[in-house]
Every structure is written in structure tokens, then in C-alpha cells.
Amino acid sequence: MNSNALTKPGLRAILTGVFFFLGAWLGLTQTVTEDGIAILWPANAVLLTALLLTPRREWTGLATAALIAACTAALSVSFPLWSASLFGLVNIFESFLAAFLIRRFCGPGFDFQSLKHLRIFILTGPLVACSVAALLGAAVYNILDRTDNPFWVFWRLWWFADAVGLLLLTPLFASCWHAISTGWRSVRAPHYSKITELVVIWTAIAITGFYAFDFARQGSVEFFLTPVLLLGFVVWTATRFRLLATTATVSIIAVVAVALLIQPLSTYTETIAPQEAIWLTQEYLVVVSIIAVGLSGLIQKIRRQNASLRFQERAIQASNDPISVVDVRQSDMPITWVNPKFEELFGYRAAEIVGQGCQFLQDGDQQKTTIEIIRAAVAESKPCRVQVRNYTKSGKLLWIDLSLAPVSNHAGTVTHYVGIQHDLTQEKEAEERLREANRAIEQQNEVLEEKVQERTQSLNRAVEKLKKVASTDFLTGIANRRHFYEVAKRELKRLKQDGRTAALVAFDLDHFKTINDTFGHEAGDEVLRGVMTPVETTIRPTDLFGRIGGEEFLILLPDTPESAALDIAERIRTQISETPVNYGTTPLQVTASFGIAEWDGSCGLDQLVRQADQALYRAKSEGRNRARA
């Protein structure tokens, strides 16, 4: 992309709209599970990046372009225009709120390399702006009654999807924007070894991520490769590369996770609910993103600080650290001078050292890579800094941080190198101890995480059991009166919004009281259970079947005209009358009367039930064991 495209406000708005559309389309089609739940939402990261990196006078144009893009993307997946506009406004509000807060506390010069700016971004964007926008989005969905999820469940799903999108993609987009606007001058051309290293890392992430997330979602006992292993690749990339490569690495992890998660979720049923799987994945991606961006910023800050410290150290190390001077005009580069600190550290007197080759202190320890780096720097008359293993006169191993700087004569020819040496032995030993401690902590954390997960699953199972008890008729296992009315009213409202039709079938068992009086209530219960099979084998999975009381039942048939509903009722009636219910050794012959009412698209559920009851009463008055509409 030409850098001039980002210097013109109109083109910036157009590009923002185009990429916002792509992000919205991806969020609506490529990151959505079978249940219609978006795992992450990329579009808002596009708009937030543009808002952070452009003057405020251009925000109106950016918002207009984003709204048009949001509506276009939503319409492409069959959202009504008015609902697409509402959701587009919610997303734009989120991006504007995040941009306003970030620029309020960071000023116009926002930079992800700044740890302060990074903290403000995480607090104001994914935490504040996304959670507030999620409240609005969940409210709109509940008002439209387009979701079966409770308000706070949907709010959490919306919040985490937007937060993951901002955390994953805003740093990536900002890095690309900055690189393009500077003509890629801010991005140094990587050495081929770095490119190879990145390719190897990304390939390993793709392979490891596939097995990690796939086995994690299946709960395999034989081989459970935890996705936490991918953190190693993130840490490696953050410490080895700049922000652009680091955010790209995290994005690859997200692509692998989302690609597997949007597959059919039947594999979760034995271990974890789909919503919980999505929450865990979103939380995982949030943690990985924070670690990656934070560690990258920290490493960059450390590198800048170290560069400044090295500059300052050169001014004082002449007297405070061991120093040696070597003559690079001779092939073996002999030592020509050392200071007292050098003698103190290695235990040699100056007379024993001067004239010796520069590899004298290595005592035969072959360090080819380090020697090659030093020779390459000397050949180019450049300074260098390496870590070497040197040995004292007594044979003790010392890890030395060796800084070499060229010294030129009056003609500008490099004749000597000054070596400033810093003992890293204690640091190396401390690092080893720290690594051991970290490994022990990680093992304890894994055990704790397993216990927490087991407890969470147990609580979730208990909650689901309570929900089922509250909404199910205990005798027949179908919806009870309260649950039937709640779901039926919501279904009629949804059908009305979409301009669709429905029919209601009411039926009860003929002479049921006689069965109870003659054979007892246990026989009556067996009869009620026995009529479930004819009904459930006839109706569709999308139909709603409930017991309203005693021997009275209701069936709501969406997208079904009166004639088709009458045919369904006749089939159920025939099966009931032709299938005796066995009570012990006694076959009980049962019949049922049916009433059908077609919904006119506007009346309420209570009125529709009354109409079906009137038809049922007519079937009763005409002799029972028949269906009337």
C-alpha cells in the first residue's frame, strides 16, 4: 500500500470503511460458532486504530465510513437495515469512547511501545469501552428478542468478543499503519535468519495449536496438550522481535483457536458447555494478548534503557570495571595492557598477561560462535558485545559480558580494541535458580487450574440441573405450563417480527377421570407418559410441546398453516387411539380430542389458546376422539 494513501483524509476514511467492512464480515461469518456466538470482533480494532492515529476533525468522516461498512456487512448476512444500524452505532460508540479516553490520558502521541500508554489502552479500551458497549448491545438483542441467552450471559459474550478483537488487532493495525505511513522506514529489513526463525515459530504454532485446542476441547485423557504451551512461542517472539511480529504471532494463535472453536460443538458436551468453551478461549486470547503486547513493550523499553546504560557505562568503566587492550594489527591479537581491576578479577599479574593472545583466558574452551562475532567486528572496525566463558588463574569459571570498542590512531586506522569486562557469573547462577523456581510455580499453577476447572464444571452441571427442573414437567419430561408460556410468547414475538405464521394444537385425553377412578392414579400417570411417544415422534424438533395441567397439552407449530396442523393432529390422534397403554398386564385403550387454531400474526398467546380450546370443545361435543379447527 502506498504511504500517500494515509496522508489524505478522504482516502483514510475510505480505507477505514473498507477494512471495517472486512473486519465486520469476518466477525459475522468466520468467527461465529454453530450457536451464532461471535468469538472475536475484528472491526472495532480498525476504527479505533484510525481514531488514535488521525486528527479529531476527521472523526466524523471515519464514523460515517464505519457506519456504512457496518450496515453493508450486516445486510450481507441478512440482518434488517434498522437492526444493522443499531449494532453499527453501538460498535462506533465503543471505538469512540475508547479513543476519547486513551487520547484524554495519553495525549495525541499514543504509542504501544510505551508501558504507560499500554496500561491506559488495556484499561480504557477492552475493559471500560467494551464492557459499556456490551451493555448496549445486549440490551438491543434482548429488546429485539433475537437471542435465547440471558442478558448477562450475552453481555459477557459481547464484551469478551470485542475485547479480544481490540487486544489482538489494534496493536497489529497500529504497527502496520505506522510502518506504511513512514514508507516502511521504521521497519528494518530482517535478516534471512530472522525470517526463517519467524517461519519456524509460526509453523510450530499452527501445528501445536491445532493439537492443543483440538485435544483441549475433546478432553482427551490419553493426550491433553494444554494451550498454555503456546505462551512459550509468544514469549520467544516478544523477546526476539518487535511489536509487529509479536502481534502477528498472537493473531496466528487466535486464528487457530477460532478455526477449531467454530467447528461443531458436540465434542464439548462431555466436558464443558459451548458458552464456557467460548469464554475460556476468549479469556485465554485476552491473557495471551496482554502478555505479548506488554512483554514486547517491556522488552523494547529494556532495550532502550540498556542502550542508554551502555553509553553511560563507557564513560565510567575505565576505572570501575576490568579493562584490557589488545593489538588487532597482529593475527593473534595479543593483550597489551590491563588495569588493576582486571588483575583482581582473574588473579593474574599484568606481567603474566601482557603479550598473551586474547584467547588466553578461555583456557582451551572452544567458543567458535563468539570468536567469529569478535573477528567479524574487528574486520569491519566496529564495536561489539558478546558473552564469553573465561577462567581465573585458579580455574574458576566466570561468565563475562565483554564490550569491545575500536581505537583509531591519528590517521583514522583502527589499531587496538578496548575490552571492558563485566562479571555475569552471579546473574547466570541467579537466572538458573529463577528458572527452577518458575518451573516449580508453573507445576503448582497447573494443579490449581485443574482443581478450579473441575469445581467450575461441577457448579455448571448443578446449575443446568436446577434450570431443567424448573422448566420441565416432572411426570412427562416435557415443558411445564410456565416454561411453555414463556417460550411460546417469545417465539410468537419473533415470528411476528419476521412476518411468519404458526398454529396451536390443544388436546386432552378422553375420559381420563374414568381411568383414574377405575385403575388408580398410577395408571393415569402411566397413560400420560404413554401418549408422549406418539406426539414426540410426529412433531419437529423446532415445535414446542408442553403439559398445561392434568391431561391437557399444547403444541405450538411455527411456520405451519391450519391445514398442515390439522393433519399433524390427526396423525397423533390416530397413533394414540391405535396404541394401547400397558398398565401392568392390563392394556388401557386411550383416545384424545384435538382443537387447532391458526395464528393471525397479531393476537397474543392467551387469545390463541382460547381459540384452540373452543375448537377442542367442539371436538368433544361432536363425540370425542377427533380433531377440529
- Among 167-171, 260-264, 288-292, 579-583, the range scoring the smallest mean pLDDT is 260-264
Return the SS3 of 487.
Answer: helix
Residues 205 and 158 in one domain: no
Residue 529 lies in a domain: yes
User: Predicted confidence band at 220 (pLDDT cuts at 50, 70, 90)?
Assistant: very low
Instruction: Assign 269 a pLDDT band (cuts: 50, 70, 90).
Output: very low
pLDDT surpassing 60 at residue 111: yes
Q: Based on the fold, state whether residues 40 and 127 are members of the same structural domain.
A: yes
- Reduce the DSSP state of residue 269 to 3 states and report it: coil
Percent of the chain with pLDDT over 70: 87
- The CATH number of whichever domain residue 499 belongs to comes to 3.30.70.270
pLDDT confidence bin for 267, thresholds 50/70/90: very low
Handedness of CA 345, 350, 351, 355 (dihedral sign): positive
- Which runs of consecutive H residues, i.e. helices, occur in 219-261? 230-240, 243-261
Residues 304 and 350 in one domain: no
What phi and psi values does residue 508 have, to the nearest 5 degrees? -140, 165
Q: Are residues 212 and 308 both part of a single domain?
A: yes
Among the listed residues 518, 579, 509, the one whose alpha carbon sits nearest the alpha carbon of residue 550: 509
What total of structural domains would you count in the chain? 4
More confident residue, 309 or 357: 357
DSSP state of 191: P
Q: What is the DSSP letter of 178?
A: H
pLDDT, tens digit (0-9, with 9 covering 90-100), for 124-134? 988 899 999 98
Backbone Cα Rg of the chain: 36
- pLDDT at position 400: 82
- Say if residue 7 is in the same domain as residue 86: yes
pLDDT of 4 above 60: no
> Which of 107-111, 164-168, 265-269, 553-557 tops mean pLDDT?
553-557
Amino acid at site 68: I
223 confidence band (pLDDT: 50, 70, 90): very low
Mean pLDDT, range 574-596, rounded to an integer: 89
Q: Out of 9-18, 260-269, 594-603, which region has the weakest mean confidence (pLDDT)?
A: 260-269
Share of the chain above pLDDT 90, in %: 18
Is position 439 within any domain? no
Give the per-residue SS3 of 415-438: EEEEEEEEECHHHHHHHHHHHHHH
| Helix, strand and coil percent figures for the chain, each rounded to 5 | 65, 15, 25
Q: What per-residue confidence (pLDDT) applies to 268? A: 45
Task: Give the list of residues 6+ apart from residue 556 with CB closer than 8 angstroms, or none.
Answer: 484, 488, 491, 502, 503, 504, 543, 544
Residue 288 lies in a domain: yes
Check residue 87 and give its pLDDT.
84
Residue 495 pLDDT greater than 60, yes or no: yes
Is 222 inside a domain boundary? yes
**Last residue in a domain, options 384, 409, 424:** 424
Q: Sheet holding 502-509: strands in order across?
A: 544-549, 552-558, 502-509, 592-598, 627-628
Model pLDDT, residue 494: 92
CA–CA separation, 346 and 356 (whole Å): 14
What is the spatial distance between Cα 525 and Cα 611, in angstroms, rounded to a whole number? 28
Regarding whether 545 and 614 lie in a shared domain, the answer is yes
Long-range contacts of 320-323 (CB under 8 A, 24+ apart): 321/420, 321/421, 321/422, 322/346, 322/420, 322/421, 323/418, 323/419, 323/420, 323/421
Q: Are residues 11 and 25 in the same domain?
A: yes
Domain housing 20:
1-162
Per-residue pLDDT at 146: 61
What is residue 531's three-state secondary structure? coil
* pLDDT tens track for 527-584: 888 899 999 999 999 999 999 988 899 999 999 999 999 999 999 999 999 988 888 8
Determine the pLDDT at residue 226. 60
Q: Note the pTM of the prediction, 2 decimals.
A: 0.47
The helices-and-strands tally (H runs, E runs) of the chain is 21, 12
Residue 627 contacts residue 595 (beta carbons within 8 Å) = yes
pLDDT of residue 317: 47
Per-residue model confidence as pLDDT tens digits over 340-350:
888 777 878 87
Query: Do residues 474 and 532 make contact, with C-beta atoms less than 8 angstroms apart?
Result: no
pLDDT value at residue 250: 83
Strands 592-598 and 627-628: parallel
User: Of 97, 128, 162, which marks where a domain is finished?
Assistant: 162
What is residue 217's predicted lDDT score, i.e. its pLDDT? 53
The C-alpha cell at 465 is: 440441573
* pLDDT higher at 493 or 393: 493
**Contact assessment for residue 509 and residue 443, using Cβ atoms and an 8 Å cutoff:** no
* Spatial separation of the C-alpha atoms in residues 258 and 274, rounded to whole Å: 13
* Buried-exposed string 608-629: b where 16+ CB fall within 10 A, e elsewhere: bbebbbebbeebbeeeebbbbb
**Do residues 503 and 569 share a domain?**
yes
**428-448: pLDDT as tens digits:** 888 888 888 888 888 888 888
Q: Is the pLDDT higher at 157 or at 309?
A: 157
Average pLDDT of the residues of the chain: 82
**DSSP designation for 189:** P
As a whole number, mean pLDDT of residues 453-470 equals: 73
Look at residue 113 and tell me if it is in a domain: yes
Q: What gap in Å lies between CA 283 and CA 456, rounded to an integer? A: 15
27-45 tens-digit pLDDT: 888 877 655 567 788 888 8
Picking from 331, 359, 348, 330, the residue whose alpha carbon sits closest to that of residue 419 is 359
- The helix (run of H) or strand (run of E) holding residue 627 is strand 627-628
The pLDDT of 232-236, averaged and rounded, is 85
Q: Which range (89-103, 105-119, 510-524) has the least confidence? A: 105-119
pLDDT digits (tens, 9 = 90+) for 400-418: 888 888 888 878 888 888 8
Statement to judge: residues 313 and 403 lie in one domain? no
In a domain, 445, yes or no: no
Residue 80 lies in a domain: yes
Q: Is there a single domain that holds both residue 101 and residue 195? A: no
Q: How far is CA 199 from the centre of its chain?
A: 23
Please check whether residues 260 and 246 belong to one and the same domain: yes
Which of 102-116, 137-151, 535-549, 582-596 shows the lowest per-residue confidence on average (mean pLDDT)?
137-151
At which of 147, 162, 177 does a domain end? 162
Is 463 part of any domain? Answer: no
pLDDT interval class at 5 (50, 70, 90): low
Q: What is the pLDDT of residue 224?
A: 43
What pLDDT does 6 receive?
57
> Looking at the DSSP assignment, which residues form a beta bridge with residue 544?
556
Q: Residue 273: pLDDT band by 50, 70, 90 thresholds?
A: low
More confident residue, 605 or 188: 605
Q: pLDDT category, 625, cuts 50, 70, 90?
A: very high
365 versus 525: which is more confidently predicted? Answer: 525
CA dist 186 and 217 (Å) reads 41
Distances (CA, A) of 565 to 409, 463, 485, 569, 598: 103, 36, 19, 6, 8
Stretch 259-266: mean pLDDT, rounded?
63
Q: Same structural domain for residues 293 and 230?
A: yes
